Amino acid sequence: MNDFLPHDHGHSFRFENMPKTEEFLAVSEIFKQLCDQTRIKIFWILCHCEECVINLSSMMGMSSPAVSHHLRQLKTYGLIVSRRDGKEVYYKAADTEQAQLLHKMIEKMVEISCPAAG
């Protein structure tokens, strides 16, 4: 990329401060997870509690395999984590800055009151 733009509009944008293409790709992959309302709802629930697939399936009115598919997607991109306790696997939002920011963004976007804050 050139260090100079064809037209000078008087701003001083510095190309060396621009994130690399790979960094934008990583952000894009995370945002792809939010293109599905079911996945957003599952993620939102897991921001508030730790749950197993059976309970999530009941909350969502979906089959366990369908919920498991969404959980795999969220876990692949580091938005949720899981732990095994005997035969049961429990899921919750990852304790990362990305997951916390997405949770806040979702709540702000749909103007949901967070039960933990009330």
Q: Please report whether residue 8 resides in a domain.
A: no
The rounded distance, in Å, linking the Cα atoms of 114 and 47 is 10
| 7-11, 45-49, 104-108: the lowest-pLDDT one | 7-11
Mean pLDDT over each residue of the chain, to the nearest integer? 87
Residue span of the structural domain in which 68 resides: 19-113
Q: Please report whether residue 4 resides in a domain.
A: no
Q: Please report whether residue 97 resides in a domain.
A: yes
Identify which of 53, 60, 59, 61 has the alpha carbon closest to the alpha carbon of residue 91.
Answer: 53
Q: Please report whether residue 118 resides in a domain.
A: no
In the chain, which residue ranges form alpha helices assigned H by DSSP? 21-32, 37-48, 53-60, 64-76, 97-110
Q: Please report whether residue 9 resides in a domain.
A: no
The rounded distance, in Å, linking the Cα atoms of 107 and 79 is 16
Residue 72: predicted pLDDT: 96
Model-level pTM? 0.78
- Per-residue pLDDT tens digits for 84-101: 999 999 999 999 999 999
Q: What CATH number should be reported for the domain holding residue 99?
A: 1.10.10.10
Q: Is 41 exposed, middle or buried (0-12, 13-18, 19+ CB in 10 A)?
A: middle
Question: What total of structural domains would you count in the chain?
Answer: 1
Q: Please report whether residue 1 resides in a domain.
A: no
